[in-house]
Amino acid sequence: MLFAKNLTKSYNEVKALSNVNLSIQKGELYGMLGPNGAGKTTTISILSSLLKPDEGEIFYEDKNLYQNLAECKKLIGVVPQKIALYEDLTASENLKFWGTMYGIKGQSLQKKCDELLDFLGLSDRKNHKIKTYSGGMKRRINIAAALLHNPKIVFMDEPTVGIDPQSRNLIFEVIEELHLRGLTMIYTTHYMEEAERLCDRIGIIDEGRIIAEGSLDELKADSSLKEEIHLKYSNPNQSGLDPLTDRYKGQLLINEDHLILSSSKANAELPGLIQLCSKCELLLDKIDIRSLSLESVFLELTGKSLRD
Ligand SMILES: Nc1ncnc2c1ncn2[C@@H]1O[C@H](COP(=O)(O)OP(=O)(O)OP(=O)(O)O)[C@@H](O)[C@H]1O
Ligand SMILES: [Mg+2]
């Protein structure tokens, strides 16, 4: 469905993308997981023709994007990271405005708007101005606007940022339904659990490069790590944890009341870990060994934690 080769882009001296290659199958839901500034929005802007790469080629179903721009653009829907709606227009008016931009008119536009408002669960609020909407409702209308022209591939750029868990779940359900209907999607996020829950395949992007790619199981299997030790403590004083962080660089995630150590052999690691915890004067409440998570794989690959 989509094939991109060697995408490279700099903004003056900032290298935003370096040799990004992507091959997305029809019906696939591909997740692009990366921290702030990794290059997710730049990738989506280039793939959707909003931004020209310095180098690289893009094909939609064997058609070169720039040589078949009008035709390819009809295939593409974009849910932008920044909500693109008019606050003083109603939801219905916003969708009609965007529909007109795509050249949809009259009865078919009305029908499509109503159908999407129903699909996104906002029919009862369709005549209310966007400025009266919650963040999650605005995000849903932002998604509807990208679907008006029946695109074959939709880019969703962090569609759940800044909303409450219930709204986030509603959006997940919408995306899962679109996936079931066979829509091809590229979904960017810096939330591990979203990539884990939604995506068929995940590309981990950091500093403008895709550094690993595969299904969740493949990413875990490729890692040298196998398990995680979860250790809960009741004195969350993080000032004195240097012995632990020095010893377990790139393996340790520290949270307010627990830490997670990823390891190739948790049992063997346990005595040393407990000894260091005691050196750091941590009062241990609970220890358990779990299977490897995407978060540990991400930490191993990038040296970074993705948590907010
Ligand atoms: N218009 C611009 N001018 C200059 N630098 C830019 C511009 N847009 C992005 N950048 C830089 O390019 C890099 C990639 O940015 P991009 O917005 O693609 O990342 P992102 O993964 O979408 O991040 P976020 O999670 O914050 O949305 C960053 O270093 C960013 O500062
Ligand atoms: Mg972005």
Do 155 and 47 touch, CB atoms closer than 8 A? Answer: yes
Q: Provide CB contacts within 8 A for 165, sequence distance 6+.
A: none
| Closest ligand 1 atom to 34 CA | 21
Query: Where along the chain do its domains lie?
Result: 2-220, 224-291
**Rounded-to-integer distance, Cα 187 and Cα 40, Å:** 9
Second CATH level (architecture) for the domain 2-220: 3-Layer(aba) Sandwich (3.40)
Pick the closest to residue 134 from 165, 105, 106, 172 (CA basis). Answer: 165
Do 27 and 199 touch, CB atoms closer than 8 A? Answer: no
Paired with 186 in beta bridges are: 30, 155
Closest-CA residue, ligand 1 atom 25, reads: 36
Residue 40 CB less than 6 A away from ligand 1: yes
For 166-221, the pLDDT digits (tens) are 999 999 999 999 999 999 999 999 999 999 999 999 999 999 999 999 999 999 99
Q: Ligand 1 center to residue 10 CA distance, Å?
A: 10
Q: Give the fold, CATH level 3, of 224-291.
A: Alpha-Beta Plaits (3.30.70)
Question: What tokens appear for 100 in the block?
Answer: 């007109």
**Rounded-to-integer distance, Cα 10 and Cα 224, Å:** 33
Do 28 and 1 touch, CB atoms closer than 8 A? Answer: yes
For 100-153, the pLDDT digits (tens) are 999 999 999 999 999 999 999 999 999 999 999 999 999 999 999 999 999 999
Residue 45 CB less than 6 A away from ligand 1: no
pTM of the predicted model, to two decimals? 0.92
Q: Ligand 2 center to residue 37 CA distance, Å?
A: 7
**Rounded-to-integer distance, Cα 34 and Cα 189, Å:** 7
